[in-house]
């Protein structure tokens, strides 16, 4: 069962009051993960990030099912094959279709490339003491910009709040990303001072709408 935190809590308090160990854990295994990815139109390679303690031994990193995500149903390049836990990979496949719908509707062009700045990093959250980052489980992705098929680049920084087709695209897509796909969406609209330049999507055991 997912835990839901009010969207105003981090903004109002600057932290999350309760650190629940139950929600700070690696993603659960998904039955027939590889078959579901194939059926979703994902090209991938099997990979591994074994469950292991971090350097200080305070928490666990890694995930039970990890893949190298090469290409999804949106036919988008990620500039490599990022490692993703199975829940994130399945979510990305679903989200790519939404992304292309919104790009076509607002910008009249499809997304060709996504510049991301990481999926796996064994660490705590920078803003909230005691909270483990979903990046520790390869269960989150940070996205810096989108390149369209017509060559335009849509960066997150300085674009998200603009009253332009690009800004409208980013906001509409992020809203749908939370409402339809991801458990956590963090954007420049989240006033933690750490997401002004990128979007963060993950599949944590809790939900948070920062769109």
Instruction: Please check the confidence at residue 8 and state whether its pLDDT lies above 50.
Output: no
Q: What is the pLDDT of residue 97?
A: 98
- Average pLDDT on 46-56 reads 96
Among 67-76, 79-88, 127-136, which is the least confidently predicted range?
A: 127-136
pLDDT over 50 at 43, yes or no: yes
User: Model confidence over 164-210: pLDDT tens digits?
Assistant: 999 999 999 999 999 999 999 999 998 766 677 889 999 999 888 88
Count CA within 13 A, CB hemisphere, residue 5.
Answer: 24
Tokens read off for 43: 């090209």
For residue 108, the model assigns a pLDDT of: 98
Q: Which comes out higher in pLDDT, residue 7 or 65?
A: 65
Res 2: pLDDT: 54
Return the H-helix or E-strand segment holding 186. Answer: strand 184-186
What's the mean pLDDT when you consider all of the chain?
A: 90
Are 29 and 64 in contact, with CB atoms under 8 Å apart? yes
Q: What's the token pair of residue 128? A: 């909230």
Q: What pLDDT sits at residue 52?
A: 97
On whether the CB atoms of residues 5 and 19 are closer than 8 A, the answer is no
Average pLDDT value for residue range 89-118:
98
């Amino acid at each position: 069962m997912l835990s839901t935190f009010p969207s105003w809590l981090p903004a109002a308090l600057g932290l999350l009051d309760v650190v629940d160990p139950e929600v700070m854990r690696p993603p659960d295994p998904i039955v027939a993960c590889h078959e579901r990815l194939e059926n979703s139109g994902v090209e991938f390679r099997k990979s591994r990030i074994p469950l292991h303690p971090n350097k200080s031994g305070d928490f666990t990193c890694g995930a039970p099912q990890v893949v190298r995500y090469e290409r999804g149903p949106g036919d988008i390049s990620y500039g490599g094959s990022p490692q993703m836990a199975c829940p994130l990979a399945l979510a990305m496949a679903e989200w790519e279709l939404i992304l292309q719908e919104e790009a076509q509707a607002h910008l009249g062009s499809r997304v060709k490339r996504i510049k991301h700045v990481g999926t796996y990093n064994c660490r705590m959250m920078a803003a909230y003491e005691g909270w483990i980052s979903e990046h520790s489980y390869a269960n989150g992705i940070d996205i810096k910009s989108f390149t369209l098929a017509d060559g335009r680049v849509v960066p997150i920084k300085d674009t998200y709040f603009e009253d332009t087709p690009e800004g409208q695209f980013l906001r509409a897509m992020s809203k749908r990303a939370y409402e339809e796909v991801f458990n956590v969406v963090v954007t420049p609209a989240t006033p933690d001072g750490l997401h002004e330049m990128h979007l963060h999507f993950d599949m944590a055991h809790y939900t948070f709408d920062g769109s």
